[in-house]
Amino acid sequence: ASLAGRSGPTSLARSTVSRPAAVGPRTSSQANEPYARVTAMVFTAETESELTLNMGDRITILQDDAEGSGHSIDRWVYGKNETTQEIGWFPLSYSKASEAGME
């Protein structure tokens, strides 16, 4: 029997990536409470799963895996830009706490 054309597992299949996968928010047994933030720096989406942010945009964070990322401000979060009504992933460090809170 010929082994030509068969492929085995590849070590690159599970490479570490800093950007989140192109999927919607994950579900977990501990649901995240949405909270508000305001854009502090411009962020331009590079993939369709990312969220473009402009200065002063109001953002609602829909998913934040703070525990899994060690509470790093550099973690990626999934949110809705209330200014543009778009949703996607963006670095939390591009936003700051909203003084007004959720409205």
Does the global pTM surpass 0.85? Answer: no
* pLDDT tens string 17-32: 455 555 455 444 344 6
Handedness of CA 20, 25, 31, 36 (dihedral sign): positive
For residue 12 the two structure tokens come to 């690159």
Can you name the CATH fold of 35-97? SH3 type barrels. (2.30.30)
CA of residue 21 relative to chain centroid, distance: 9
> Which DSSP symbol is given to 94?
G
Q: What is the average per-residue pLDDT within 4-24?
A: 49
CA of residue 32 relative to chain centroid, distance: 13
42 Cβ contact partners less than 8 Å away, ≥ 6 residues apart: 53, 54, 55, 94
3-state secondary structure of 97: strand
**Banded pLDDT at 74 (limits 50, 70, 90):** confident
Residue of 79, 103, 83 lying closest to 91 (CA atoms): 79
